Amino acid sequence: MSKVRSAPDFVIIFATLFLLGIGIVMVYSASAIVAQKPPFSDPYFFAKRQLIFALLGITSMYITMNIDYWVWKQWAKPGYYVSICLLILVLVIGIEVNGSKSWLGFGAFGIQPGEFAKLGVVAFLARWLSDNQKQIVLFRKGLMPALAIPLVCFGLIMLQPDLGTGTVLVGTAIVMIFASGARISHFVGLGMLGIAGFVGLVLSAPYRIKRITSFLDPWSDPLNTGYQIIQSLYAIGPGGLLGLGLGQSRQKHLYLPEPYNDFIFSIVAEELGFIGGTLILLLFLLLLWRGMRTAITAPDLFGSLLALGIIGMIAIQVVINIGVVTGMFPVTGITLPFLSYGGSSLTLMLTGVGVLLNISRFSRS
């Protein structure tokens, strides 16, 4: 393997930092009304914390950009086991937020082990698939062991429960396994089982059933299960072509719950309009294109699958988040990469981009 480095992909850096800058501005705009009330009493509370998270994430991105990516192949297995230990630990001593025991931490500082698990699974699965490429066409010796890697973490995440994070994790793993050469016929059968299992997960929790019914007709329960999506649509609709103007959102005035988090794209569409929303989508498409190019031109299979897993994770999360806020998918707790408020998600996403940038430094021209 050639160890001659070139410059990292500037387009990936540009798209990431542009999205990050928009995110910091929009977190302030979306959170100022909530933050100026007790217990925060500071309109810049969430914006300042997001800026700190962004600086930590950029530092991590810079460090991982300069660490040769094949180092992660050596650390993939320990990282995966650490992720499992953290997921078990959060079930024992985790902090419950909004009905989900997904956080480890004390006071104002906390981490989400589920976010670490996504990157841990991507690295370990890329290692396993690159070492066992010839066996992936076999069902028992290839596909099943590969699927076991994400499903162990998925099961622990569902005990929290956190269906959104679990969906992103499994979806990313399926993309990687399929790209490594698994047979379509195997996926068809497992797809049927997966659909049945997903339906079982939904039916096992009454609140998930309510989310499905409210997704189909949110106005059937406008003050409870349909409230978030209705308020989100009330934000998007008036935005029009140019938006109401930065800082002029109406729905952030305590109508849309936590508008700086999972539903930040609603505020973007309301304040910046169709043009602002389209700009963000174009930046994500630009990032996806260059990420896929990095995966295709990587010098080895491990680098290719690692790059695919990182960019696939980002793409799946974007599709689900925007699908939720526009009423295309049932409501689930998934942040919009680089824009939504949150330390664990933002830091880990930027760390992943750093690894992607390092792979781009060795890509074949």
pLDDT for res 40: 87
What gap in Å lies between CA 107 and CA 110, rounded to an integer? 8
Least confident interval from 86-90, 184-188, 301-305:
184-188
> Could you report the per-residue pLDDT of 67-108, keeping only the tens digit for each?
999 999 999 999 999 999 999 998 888 787 767 778 777 555
Using the predicted structure, report yes or no on whether residue 139 has a pLDDT greater than 70.
yes
CA distance 64 to 66: 5
C-alpha span between 333 and 335 (Å, rounded): 7
pLDDT band at 205 (very low <50, low <70, confident <90, very high): low
pLDDT for residue 2 is more than 60: no
Output the pLDDT for position 254: 84
Out of 69-73, 100-104, 161-165, 190-194, pick the least confident: 190-194
pLDDT band at 65 (very low <50, low <70, confident <90, very high): very high
What's the chain's Rg over C-alpha atoms? 20
CB-neighbour burial class of residue 352 (10 A; exposed 0-12, middle 13-18, buried 19+) = buried
Tokens of 319: 């599709």
- Please report the DSSP string for 212-234 in residue order: HHHHH-GGGSTTTTTHHHHHHHH
Contacts of 275 (CB under 8 A, 6+ apart): 241, 242, 243
Burial of 229 (0-12, 13-18, 19+ CB in 10 A): buried
Q: Which two tokens stand for residue 185?
A: 């016929």
Q: Out of 211-220, 270-279, 340-349, which region has the weakest mean confidence (pLDDT)?
A: 211-220
Condensed to tens digits (0 to 9), the pLDDT of residues 45-55 reads 999 999 999 99
Three-state DSSP class for residue 66: coil
The DSSP letter of residue 140 is I
DSSP 5: -
pLDDT at 265 over 90: yes
Residues 6 or more apart whose CB falls under 8 angstroms from that of 21 comprise none
Instruction: List the chain domain ranges.
Output: 10-361
What pTM value is reported for the model? 0.91
Determine the pLDDT at residue 223.
74
